[in-house]
């Protein structure tokens, strides 16, 4: 069977504003280190005023994953809402320039393109405050059935459980993918997202999801588990494949009775962990779409994640396809 795309993803269309910060800054601004917090435009402006000079980069979790799949040489499409403004043009450019399909019409309205204020501490950890803006208004009409049905894997970000309209778009896409016999993948996105929507997420995972991505904090939050082992035991049997990332400790994959660990790919210096999980999902899914064994999926995920944490910004700066070839993972 052939598909016109490897991955179609639905997520918040976001431009990141990335700046260095220290732990004292996080404390002074009541920011939970490593987490993502939703803020309104007014709070966003106030926080931005206090932040250091930054750089801007297209972001958004699932959008970063789509960029990663495209950079690896895969065929990917993204569905998400920007506004008809300068940052929206930047987002659309970066998506198309990397070779991904992005055809969601921009929002004609007052809300600007969504922004994520990313404060990166010297340990490379990122702490995010997101103003959703136009992304908040992704709706069911933006989900084109043909696009979903033609892709081997539908990838959804847990962040979309927050905006009510987007959540309906999410459900519509899952229904279309399931009816067409596609693989449905979900990333938990953030421990606080999981906390806010635990029951609904768990129900969605058990009924719709084939492939689940999450890090230690997220999977722990999903099951209110004491430790990683307990959470890993709890997810077993609820999804066909769970790929759980553990930062410098690599990842653990659980599939049916099988389970294995893959070490993290080596990195000279961790500069900014923004996008690590997103790129892991990109590598994992493209290898899966190409019929590779699960261990190769986890390795390609780890390789893509290692590239993105070695520089500022959530998207690859090196063509990942060449990197995969160099590591025998193409």
Q: Which residues bind a second copy (CB under 8 A)?
A: 17, 19-20, 48-49, 51-58, 67, 85-87, 90, 93-95, 97-98, 112-113, 311-313, 315, 317
Q: Give the single-character DSSP code of 133.
A: G
Which CB atom, from 245 or from 273, has the smaller least distance to a second copy? 273
Which CB atom, from 68 or from 220, has the smaller least distance to a second copy? 68
Q: φ and ψ at 12, to 5 degrees?
A: -75, 130
Which CB atom, from 18 or from 143, has the smaller least distance to a second copy? 18
**Minimum separation from the CB atom of position 270 to a second copy (A):** 15
Are 225 and 195 a contacting pair, CB within 8 Å? no
**Minimum separation from the CB atom of position 86 to a second copy (A):** 5
Q: φ and ψ at 188, to 5 degrees?
A: -70, -20
Strand order in the sheet with 101-102: 101-102, 76-79, 5-10, 151-157, 183-187, 211-215, 241-245, 251-255, 258-262
Sign of CA dihedral 312, 313, 316, 318: negative
**Minimum separation from the CB atom of position 215 to a second copy (A):** 25
**Minimum separation from the CB atom of position 236 to a second copy (A):** 38
Which CB atom, from 162 or from 272, has the smaller least distance to a second copy? 272
Instruction: Look at residue 174 and give its three-state secondary structure.
Output: helix
**Minimum separation from the CB atom of position 52 to a second copy (A):** 5
Which CB atom, from 48 or from 228, has the smaller least distance to a second copy? 48
Residue in 293, 223, 220, 240 with CA at minimum distance from that of residue 262 = 293
């Amino acid at each position: 069977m052939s598909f016109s795309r490897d991955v179609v993803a639905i997520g918040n269309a976001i431009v990141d504003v990335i700046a260095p910060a220290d732990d004292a800054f996080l404390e002074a601004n009541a920011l939970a280190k490593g987490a993502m917090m939703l803020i309104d435009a007014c709070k966003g402006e106030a926080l931005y005023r206090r932040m250091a000079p930054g750089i801007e980069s297209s972001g958004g979790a699932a959008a970063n994953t789509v960029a990663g799949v495209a950079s690896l040489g895969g065929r990917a499409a993204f569905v998400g809402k920007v506004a008809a403004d300068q940052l929206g043009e930047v987002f659309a450019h970066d998506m198309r320039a990397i070779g991904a399909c992005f055809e969601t019409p921009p929002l004609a309205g007052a809300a600007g393109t969504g922004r994520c204020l990313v404060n990166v501490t010297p340990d490379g950890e990122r702490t995010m405050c997101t103003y959703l803006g136009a992304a908040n208004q992704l709706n069911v009409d933006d989900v084109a059935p043909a696009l979903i049905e033609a892709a081997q894997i539908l990838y959804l970000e847990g962040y979309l459980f927050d905006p009510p309209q987007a959540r309906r778009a999410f459900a519509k896409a899952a229904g279309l993918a399931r009816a067409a016999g596609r693989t449905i993948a979900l990333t938990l996105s953030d421990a606080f997202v999981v906390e806010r929507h635990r029951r609904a997420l768990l129900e969605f995972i058990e009924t719709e999801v084939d492939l689940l991505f999450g890090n230690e904090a997220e999977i722990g939050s999903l099951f209110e588990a004491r430790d990683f082992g307990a959470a890993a035991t709890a997810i077993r049997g609820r999804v066909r494949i769970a790929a759980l990332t553990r930062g410098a400790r690599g990842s653990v994959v659980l599939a049916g009775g099988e389970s294995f660990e893959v070490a993290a790919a080596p990195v000279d210096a961790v500069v900014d962990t923004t996008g690590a999980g997103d790129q892991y999902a990109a590598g994992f899914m493209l290898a899966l779409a190409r019929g590779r064994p699960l261990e190769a999926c986890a390795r390609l995920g780890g390789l893509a994640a290692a590239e993105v944490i070695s520089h500022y910004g959530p998207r690859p700066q090196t063509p990942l396809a060449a990197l995969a070839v160099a590591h025998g993972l193409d």
